Amino acid sequence: MSHDAHPYIGFEEYSERVPQSIPLAVQQATDRFVGGRAARVAELPQWEELRQIGSDIRLHTIENMDVYLTRLEEKVKLAGGHVHWAETAEDARRIVLQIAKAHNVKTAVKSKSMATEEIGLNHALGAAGIEALETDLGEYIIQLAGTGPSHIIVPAVHLKKEEIAALFSEKLDIHAPADPIELARIAREILREKFLDAGMGISGGNFLVAETGTLVMVTNEGNGRMCTTLPDLHVAVVGIDKVIPDWESLTVFLKLLARSATGQKLSTYTQFITGPRRAEGESGPKEFHLVLLDNGRSKVLKDPVGREVFKCIRCGACANVCPVYKNVGGFAYGWFISGPIGAILSPQMLGTQTARELPYASTLCGACADVCPVKIPIPTILRHLRRRVAQGDEFAGPTLPAPIRVTASIAAFALAQNRLYRFGTRLLPLLMSIFKRGDWIPNAPYPLNRWTKARPLPPFTAQFRGWWNVRSSKRKDSAR
Amino acid sequence: MSKAQLFLTCLGDQFYTSTLQNMTHILERLGVELVFPPEQTCCGQPLFNNGFEDKTRPVALNFMHAFSRSDAPIIGPSGSCVSMVKHHYPSLFKAGTAEHDLAVDIASRTFEFTEYLVNMLKVTDVGAVYPHKVTYHASCHYLREMGLRTEAKTLLNAVKGLEFVSLHEEETCCGFGGAFTVTFPEVSRSMMQNKVRDIISSGADTVVTCEPGCLMNVAGGLHTAGSSIRAMHIVDLLSSKEELA
């Protein structure tokens, strides 16, 4: 196995357990992002062209990933950094732990990183007696709450300020008011000391520029700079999919990313980190380690349709416009990346048995593909993964439950035999009339009982064919 | 005189007899001679969208054969079903095979009802009278797969007496999504409830859509919410001859 065994992701079950407060909080926040994005996009007449260029570069990189990763490794080493290849999550955790132990690290400060969420790094560090402290405000909040992130760029998007205040009061044993500025001040005060104490800074990375071996970090709070410059040791854990060819490509992605994510022209901080500090007196850590995480990515790269998921630059715009995500929040997706991109990533990385419900967690409305800054054909990949779930793939047979497959087989048979279908069309209105109450069918039998859970079904009329025949024969008669 | 073939769509066939009759009347009034191939069943989209590509092929073949006896355009009252034929049929068969050639041919002459009226027949006023406050729900596949952004509104704009009011989040999915409604009924319900809430707060007395699926969902949702707002297929609204007050 190239990944840790992950528990089954029961989207339906999880989505039904979502507290009412989550959709409301998520709706408010995402509406703000959607509005901001639209305004920034409208300012750029060449937006569609930029998306196409971004998509082309990412596709080219995916197809030549070995070339760019080799170049990246060479350049990072040339700049004095260390490069580690982690084939699995377990490998990545072990590498980071080894580095930490070698430097006798007691406390590590972290800037926001989805890759370390993916490998569950905090837990591993904690188990080894090393305190790992999240310093992004959102991540700090969810670390206190003991949950994972519910949005790619806004990890605590599901919580309202009142809930955060209650959480701070409880966990920090203080009286925290429900005021965002005050809450940020409290967190900053606690974190400032930790920054100065920490023996290691851990970060992720938004891009890896192969041309110069540069780690690019796009952030808004300033904590990322503290994490990567104050401690003498900086370890970056980054998925291999984050590599891009050169600085010219980077200009495209920097234009696309902040606009799509937060509706900013550019994020507050854009850091370029090329190796450790060169000389005493320069800022930056003494040692720089880059852990390149595979964790199943190479396997996904072999699927020519599915691999386009790795064009993703993690802006979260797809989630912000997704009506399913907005109604269930991020936790229903069961892994570190939620929303439409999570629905196409998790089944590929964790396997279609573990995440077989996720490709179906979409109405295929297509809103995500419309806003994706790198034109990932999300509905196409969802359909592709549904095929793998329904028909089986190279790793497993069909994982869709047998009753659904049998129903589909019966439907397919009846729909392909037009005489049978036409017979059914005459029969159904009679059968279903048993369930008719007034103008509606309020409670239909299986499998339509799940439809009528939420709204009644209109009655089966199915009289067009008869009407047409009568009409046609009348016309023939009158023509005679 | 132009000729066209009627594509009922299975939801139309099962649930919306009068919509299909109205579509027949409108097209005939505009001078279109209609053919109805009775061998048609369903386009196969429910199978295709749920991962059963292998099971979709025979259903698609049945459709293609039903409509290949005439080379007239194929007109259906659903952007979603039409999109299935137009955009996905060719992908079902290997390039170079007779089936693929037929799928490409069928795809090239399949049109959604409002698309056919506005873009092919160049008709924007069908002489309808409907003195009501009307709002519009943009169905996902009609909007995004078919790229039909103005056609429905152009037709509504010409209806006498009609007062158009905008719908908040007009382009947000209503929660139908075909089998999605029975796969994740609770999520589908909350999406539908949001749509119903927006329709009610639009102040309209009628909501119109170009999709039988959305219509079933939204009409049922409005009924459950105890609302008296009418949900209509655009075909039915365009057939209306209500008296002006």
Q: What is the pLDDT of residues A65-123, one digit of tens each?
A: 999 999 999 999 999 999 999 999 999 999 999 999 999 999 999 999 999 999 999 99
The verdict on B45 touching A (C-beta cutoff 8 Å) is no
CB within 8 Å: B181 and A389: no
Q: Give percent of chain A with pLDDT exceeding 70.
A: 99
Contact (Cβ atoms closer than 8 angstroms) between residue A443 and residue A452 = yes
Q: Tell which of A238, A265, A295 closes a domain.
A: A295
Nearest residue of B to residue A401, measured between CA atoms = B183
pLDDT at B245: 66
Helices A378-391 and B53-67: crossing angle in degrees, nearest 10, is 110
Neighbours of A241 (CB within 10 A): 24
pLDDT at A2: 41
Q: Best mutation site among A327, A385, A439 for testing chain B: the one with the most B CBs within 10 Å? A: A327
* Three-state secondary structure readout of A364-416: CCCHHHHHCCCCCCHHHHHHHHHHHHHHCCCCCCCCCCHHHHHHHHHHHHHHH
The verdict on B168 touching A (C-beta cutoff 8 Å) is no
Identify whether residues B178 and B223 lie together within a single domain. Answer: yes
pLDDT in tens, A361-413: 999 999 999 999 999 999 999 999 999 999 988 777 888 888 889 999 999 99
Q: Which of A414-418, B98-102, B110-114 has the lowest mean pLDDT?
A: A414-418
pLDDT in tens, B1-23: 799 999 999 999 999 999 999 99
* Residue B74 C-alpha, separation from nearest chain A C-alpha, in angstroms: 17
Identify whether residues A143 and A281 lie together within a single domain. Answer: yes
Count of structural domains, chain A: 2
Between B42, B175, B190, which is nearest A363 by CB? B175
CATH of the domain at B215: 3.40.50
Q: Tell which of A295, A319, A335 closes a domain.
A: A295
Chain B from 86 to 105: CB within 8 A of any A CB: none
Q: Which residues contact A362 (CB under 8 A, 6 or more apart)?
A: A322, A324, A340, A343, A378, A379, A382, B177, B180
Q: Residue A300 above 70 pLDDT?
A: yes
Contact (Cβ atoms closer than 8 angstroms) between residue B57 and residue B87 = no
pLDDT mean across residues, chain A: 95
Identify whether residues B49 and B99 lie together within a single domain. Answer: yes
From B176, B156, B157, select the one nearest B78 (Cα to Cα): B176
CB within 8 Å: B194 and A323: yes
Neighbours of A391 (CB within 10 A): 16
Q: Residue B59 above 50 pLDDT?
A: yes
Domain that holds residue A179: 64-295
Euclidean distance between CA atoms B137 and A359, whole angstroms: 25
Contact (Cβ atoms closer than 8 angstroms) between residue B196 and residue B220 = no
Instruction: Record the tokens describing residue A355, joined without a space.
Output: 């995440």
CB within 8 Å: B144 and A366: yes
From A80, A70, A67, A69, select the one nearest A274 (Cα to Cα): A80
Euclidean distance between CA atoms A140 and B221, whole angstroms: 41
From B205, B133, B224, B44, select the one nearest A458 (Cα to Cα): B224
CATH of the domain at A242: 3.40.50.10420
Euclidean distance between CA atoms A433 and A444, whole angstroms: 10
Instruction: Please report residues of B whose CB lies closer than 8 A to that of A23.
Output: 190
Instruction: Record the tokens describing residue A15, joined without a space.
Output: 């989505």
* Residue B113 C-alpha, separation from nearest chain A C-alpha, in angstroms: 17
Instruction: Please report residues of A whose CB lies closer than 8 A to that of B190.
Output: 23, 327
Q: Is residue A362 part of a domain?
A: no
Contact (Cβ atoms closer than 8 angstroms) between residue A203 and residue A217 = yes
Q: Residue A476 above 90 pLDDT?
A: no
pLDDT at A65: 97
Identify whether residues B137 and B232 lie together within a single domain. Answer: yes
Q: Tell which of A275, A295, A315 closes a domain.
A: A295
* Residue A338 C-alpha, separation from nearest chain B C-alpha, in angstroms: 15
Q: Is residue B128 part of a domain?
A: no
Q: Residue A1 above 60 pLDDT?
A: no
Q: Residue B24 above 80 pLDDT?
A: yes
Instruction: Please report residues of B whose CB lies closer than 8 A to that of A15.
Output: 184, 186-187
Chain A from 262 to 291: CB within 8 A of any B CB: none
Q: Is residue B52 part of a domain?
A: yes
The verdict on A366 touching B (C-beta cutoff 8 Å) is yes
* Residue B230 C-alpha, separation from nearest chain A C-alpha, in angstroms: 14
Euclidean distance between CA atoms B54 and A412, whole angstroms: 10
Identify whether residues B150 and B109 lie together within a single domain. Answer: no
Instruction: Please report residues of B whose CB lies closer than 8 A to that of A367.
Output: 140, 144, 171-173
Q: Tell which of B97, B120, B143 closes a domain.
A: B120
pLDDT in tens, A439-463: 999 999 988 999 999 999 999 999 9
- 3-state secondary structure (DSSP) of residue B193: helix
Q: Is residue A471 part of a domain?
A: yes
Q: Is residue A111 part of a domain?
A: yes
Count of structural domains, chain B: 2
Q: Tell which of B120, B141, B176 closes a domain.
A: B120
Euclidean distance between CA atoms A289 and A235, whole angstroms: 5
Q: For residue A240, give Cα distances in angstroms to A67, A295, A297, A387, B188.
A: 12, 9, 8, 27, 36
Euclidean distance between CA atoms A338 and A148, whole angstroms: 11
Identify whether residues B168 and B207 lie together within a single domain. Answer: yes
Euclidean distance between CA atoms A179 and A70, whole angstroms: 48
Contact (Cβ atoms closer than 8 angstroms) between residue B76 and residue B23 = no
Q: Which residues contact B224 (CB under 8 A, 6 or more apart)?
A: A454, A455, A456
Q: Which residues contact B162 (CB under 8 A, 6 or more apart)?
A: B130, B131, B132, B134, B156
The verdict on A476 touching B (C-beta cutoff 8 Å) is no
pLDDT at A99: 98
Q: How confident is the model at residue A3 (pLDDT cuts 50, 70, 90)?
A: very low
Identify whether residues B89 and B179 lie together within a single domain. Answer: no
Tell me the whole-structure pTM to 2 decimals: 0.96
Identify whether residues B170 and B100 lie together within a single domain. Answer: no
Instruction: Record the tokens describing residue B95, joined without a space.
Output: 């390039």
Residue scoring higher pLDDT (B58 or A5): B58
Instruction: Record the tokens describing residue A250, joined without a space.
Output: 């980077």
- For residue A423, the one-letter residue type is F
Q: Is residue B125 part of a domain?
A: no
Identify whether residues B138 and B115 lie together within a single domain. Answer: no
Instruction: Record the tokens describing residue B169, joined without a space.
Output: 């989040």
Q: Is residue A385 part of a domain?
A: no
Instruction: Please report residues of A whose CB lies closer than 8 A to that of B175.
Output: 323, 363
Residue scoring higher pLDDT (B97 or A394): B97
pLDDT in tens, B142-166: 999 999 999 999 999 999 999 999 9
Residue scoring higher pLDDT (A393 or A3): A393
Instruction: Record the tokens describing residue A305, joined without a space.
Output: 């349709």
- Give the distance, in angstroms, between the CA of residue B30 and the centroid of all CA atoms in the same chain: 19
Q: Give percent of chain B with pLDDT exceeding 90.
A: 98
Identify whether residues A218 and A85 lie together within a single domain. Answer: yes
Q: What ipTM was assigned to the predicted interfaces of this complex? A: 0.96
pLDDT in tens, B221-245: 999 999 999 999 999 999 999 887 6
Instruction: Please report residues of A whose CB lies closer than 8 A to that of B53.
Output: 387, 391
Identify whether residues B102 and B55 lie together within a single domain. Answer: yes
CB within 8 Å: B41 and A418: yes
Q: Span A217-227, mean pLDDT?
A: 95
Euclidean distance between CA atoms A455 and A448, whole angstroms: 11
Q: Is residue A327 part of a domain?
A: no
Identify whether residues B143 and B207 lie together within a single domain. Answer: yes
Q: Span A355-365, mean pLDDT?
A: 97
Q: Give percent of chain A with pLDDT exceeding 90.
A: 92
Q: Is residue A126 part of a domain?
A: yes
Euclidean distance between CA atoms B108 and B72, whole angstroms: 11
- 3-state secondary structure (DSSP) of residue A209: strand
The verdict on A408 touching B (C-beta cutoff 8 Å) is yes
From A206, A212, A216, select the one nearest A246 (Cα to Cα): A212
Work out the end-to-end distance of chain B between its first and last CA atoms, rounded to an integer number of angstroms: 36
- The C-alpha R_g of chain B, in whole angstroms, comes to 18
pLDDT at A4: 60
CB within 8 Å: B44 and A11: no
Euclidean distance between CA atoms A56 and A311, whole angstroms: 9
Identify whether residues A409 and A283 lie together within a single domain. Answer: no
Neighbours of A38 (CB within 10 A): 12
pLDDT at A5: 82
Chain A from 144 to 203: CB within 8 A of any B CB: none
Q: Tell which of B120, B149, B184 closes a domain.
A: B120
Instruction: Please report residues of B whose CB lies closer than 8 A to that of A428.
Output: 14
pLDDT at A223: 95
Domain that holds residue B54: 3-120
Identify whether residues A412 and A280 lie together within a single domain. Answer: no
